[in-house]
């Protein structure tokens, strides 16, 4: 059994460099112009990047698509959370959903007639109620606790089934989320809450959030995925699965963006225009958490978000963050935070650190919250959910 490890300072430096280099290499492969930290943002994306709808992403495999593949998350998202009615067999319902996923992604779905699936991915998870009914000691059986700064209606908390649809074509994503919602309804499910979102990439290949900051810079390196992301074969029922946390975080944009730029950067711990750490170096340089100003204060302030969330501070592993910006109107905009990790405590311990003191979190309010066991991959002879609900 491989255990998540907390990398030491040197490993972390290497890991961050590898992570950053990975992102830049992938950005280059997709035709994005690369920019150094001293360079100003470029105005237009290349023709290659705007080529519609991307390469197909196979639905089948040892793990589901939409987590670490494609390596650069698609720009559009629709995420739905559903409940299964009492008496519905989860195994039968999930097998039907798996068929719907395969139909859509391979271009066989009538709902998508006349459109190309492109790089659509559909990722299905099951909530703690269903996992605990199989075995309460399994990963994914634990509910998320309550945290600070939450105003969450009962209908926007938890849920039995997550359907995450991502793609480059907003129309295909919309049609697909409708097709999957129909499949869930036909299988005995009812919608609980849903949220659409989008990602916008800068010319350097990094995603920008609604605050204008580069987001998702520090991620697990490919070599760390086995230790940080995937559940292994103990127990066999969850091999190839991972744990997702989904939280809709409204951001008070007026209060955050009303601050002087230097205060915004202090709240994050990185420069807004480049993503470079306040402690210096390039965007892929590890934050120097010990660096001091001439006055003796921390260069990366004690309450900076990137410091508070740093695995060196939290003592837990590196999560794969794959969130999307959302805009539900002028009063409700923010981040649909989505993270994947093999242990729920990677999220909970980090969130507790942010709750205790974080200059960014002061501008946020959670309005939806759930965790799911993202099921192992599936194939023509191995229906979705069959490992767990045999
Ligand atoms: C509105 C909410 C949030 C926004 C706008 C936001 C934004 C950012 C930004 C701009 C960075 C620095 C660049 C990067 O490494 O990606 C960052 C880092 C990070 N955030 Fe968040 N974040 C939010 C919520 C959260 C939450 C809820 C968690 C987890 C509980 C989290 C975990 C992390 C982690 C682990 C890092 C990397 C820290 C490091 O090792 O340097 N973030 N976030």
Summarised one tens digit per residue, pLDDT across range 353-366 is: 999 999 999 999 99
CB under 6 Å to ligand 1: residues?
209, 211, 213-218, 249, 251, 268, 270, 287, 305-306, 309-311, 319, 334-335, 337, 347, 350-351, 354, 360, 364
H runs (alpha helix) in the chain = 9-29, 47-50, 90-105, 128-134, 170-186, 225-228, 253-257, 261-268, 305-308, 311-314, 344-356
Alpha carbon of 306 to ligand 1 centroid (Å): 6
Which atom of ligand 1 is least distant from the CA of 16? 40
Q: How confident is the model at residue 245 (pLDDT cuts 50, 70, 90)?
A: very high
**Global confidence as pTM:** 0.90
Q: Indicate which residue's Cα is closest to atom 8 of ligand 1.
A: 215
What does the mean pLDDT of the chain come to? 89
The two three-digit tokens of residue 285, written as one number? 């340089």
* The 3-state secondary structure of 172-237, one letter per residue: HHHHHHHHHHHHHHHCCEEEEEEEEEECEECCCCCEECCCCCEECCCCCCHHHHHHHCCCCCCCHH
pLDDT tens-digit readout, 278-287: 999 999 999 9
User: Is 22 or 314 the better-scoring residue by pLDDT?
Assistant: 314
| Candidate from 13-17, 110-114, 333-337, 377-381 with smallest mean pLDDT | 13-17
At 112-170, the pLDDT tens digits run: 998 999 999 999 999 999 999 999 999 999 999 999 999 999 999 999 999 999 999 99
Work out the average pLDDT over 206-231. 96
What is the whole-number distance in angstroms between the Cα of residue 301 and the centre of ligand 1? 15
Give the number of the atom of ligand 1 that is nearest the alpha carbon of residue 351. 30
CB-side exposure of 330: number of CA atoms within 13 Å?
Answer: 1
- Identify which of 16, 312, 321 to mutate to test ligand 1's pocket (most ligand atoms within 8 A of the CB): 321
* φ, ψ at 379 (rounded to 5°): -160, -175
pLDDT digits (tens, 9 = 90+) for 172-198: 999 999 999 999 999 999 999 999 999
Q: Whose CA is nearest to atom 18 of ligand 1?
A: 306
User: Between these two residues, 107 and 8, which has the higher pLDDT value?
Assistant: 107
Whether the bond between 235 and the residue before it is cis, its omega within 30 degrees of 0, is: yes
Q: Which atom of ligand 1 is nearest to the CA of 334?
A: 1
Residue ranges with strand state E in 40-88: 76-84
Kindly tell me if the per-residue pLDDT of 105 is higher than 60. Answer: yes
Report, as an integer, the average pLDDT of 203-230. 96
Residues 6+ away with beta carbon under 8 Å from 173: 76, 77, 78, 120, 165, 166, 167
What is the number of the ligand 1 atom nearest to the C-alpha of 275? 13
pLDDT of residue 27: 41
Backbone angles phi, psi at 183, to 5 degrees: -65, -40
- Average pLDDT on 317-333 reads 97
Q: What is the pLDDT of residue 130?
A: 98
Burial of 259 (C-beta count, 10 Å sphere; 0-12/13-18/19+) = middle
What are the residues facing 366 on neighbouring strands? 150, 249
d(CA 201, CA 30): 12
- Ligand 1 centroid vs 147 CA: distance in angstroms? 16
Cβ neighbour number for residue 365 with a 10 Å cutoff: 16
Instruction: Check residues 34 and 233 and name the one with the higher pLDDT.
Output: 233
Among 211, 301, 309, 311, the mutation site with the greatest number of ligand 1 atoms within 8 A of its Cβ is 309
In the reported structure, the alpha carbon of residue 274 is separated from the centroid of ligand 1 by a whole-number distance in angstroms of: 16
Q: Are 93 and 382 in contact (CB under 8 A)?
A: no
Can you read off the two tokens belonging to residue 65? 């698509």
Q: Determine the distance separating the centroid of ligand 1 and the alpha carbon of 320, expressed in angstroms.
A: 11
- The torsion of the CA quartet 44, 46, 50, 51, rounded to 10 degrees, works out to 170
Three-state secondary structure call for residue 365: strand
> What pLDDT, on a 0 to 100 scale, did the predictor assign at position 229?
97
Give the model's pLDDT for residue 26.
44
Give the model's pLDDT for residue 234. 78
**Closest atom of ligand 1 to CA, residue 216:** 16
The rounded Å distance from CA 233 to ligand 1 centre is 30
Q: Percent of the chain beyond pLDDT 70?
A: 87
């Amino acid at each position: 059994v491989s255990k998540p490890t907390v990398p030491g300072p040197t490993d972390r430096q290497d890991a961050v460099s590898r992570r950053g280099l990975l992102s830049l290499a992938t950005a280059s492969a997709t035709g994005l112009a690369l920019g150094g930290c001293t360079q100003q943002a470029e105005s237009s994306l290349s023709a290659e990047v705007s080529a519609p709808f991307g390469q197909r992403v196979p639905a089948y495999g040892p793990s589901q698509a939409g987590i670490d593949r494609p390596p650069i998350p698609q720009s559009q998202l629709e995420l739905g959370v559903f409940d299964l009615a009492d008496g519905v067999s989860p195994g039968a319902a999930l097998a039907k959903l798996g068929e719907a996923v395969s139909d859509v992604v391979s271009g066989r779905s009538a709902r998508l007639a006349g459109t190309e699936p492109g790089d659509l991915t559909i990722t299905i998870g099951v909530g703690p109620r269903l996992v605990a009914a199989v075995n309460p000691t399994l990963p994914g059986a634990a509910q998320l606790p309550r945290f600070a700064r939450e105003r969450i209606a009962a209908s926007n908390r938890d849920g039995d089934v997550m359907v995450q649809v991502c793609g480059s074509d907003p129309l295909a994503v919309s049609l697909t989320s409708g097709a999957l919602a129909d499949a869930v309804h036909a299988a005995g499910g009812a919608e609980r809450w849903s949220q659409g979102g989008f990602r916008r990439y800068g010319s350097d290949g990094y995603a920008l959030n609604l605050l204008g900051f580069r987001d998702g810079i520090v991620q697990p390196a490919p070599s760390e995925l086995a230790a940080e992301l995937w559940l292994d074969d103990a127990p066999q029922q969850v091999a190839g699965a991972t744990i997702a946390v989904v939280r809709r975080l409204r951001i008070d944009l007026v209060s955050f963006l009303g601050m002087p730029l230097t205060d915004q950067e202090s709240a994050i711990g990185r420069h807004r225009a480049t993503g470079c750490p306040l402690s210096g170096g390039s965007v892929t340089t590890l934050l120097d958490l010990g660096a001091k100003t001439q006055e003796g204060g921390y260069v990366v302030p004690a309450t900076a978000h990137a410091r508070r969330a740093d695995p060196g501070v939290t003592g837990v592993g590196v999560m794969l963050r794959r969130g999307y910006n959302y805009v539900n109107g002028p009063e409700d905009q923010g981040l649909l935070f989505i993270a994947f990790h093999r242990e729920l405590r990677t999220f909970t311990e980090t969130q507790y650190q942010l709750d205790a003191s974080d200059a960014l979190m002061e501008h946020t309010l959670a309005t939806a919250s759930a965790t799911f066991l993202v099921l192992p991959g599936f194939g023509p002879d191995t229906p979705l959910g069959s490992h767990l609900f045999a």
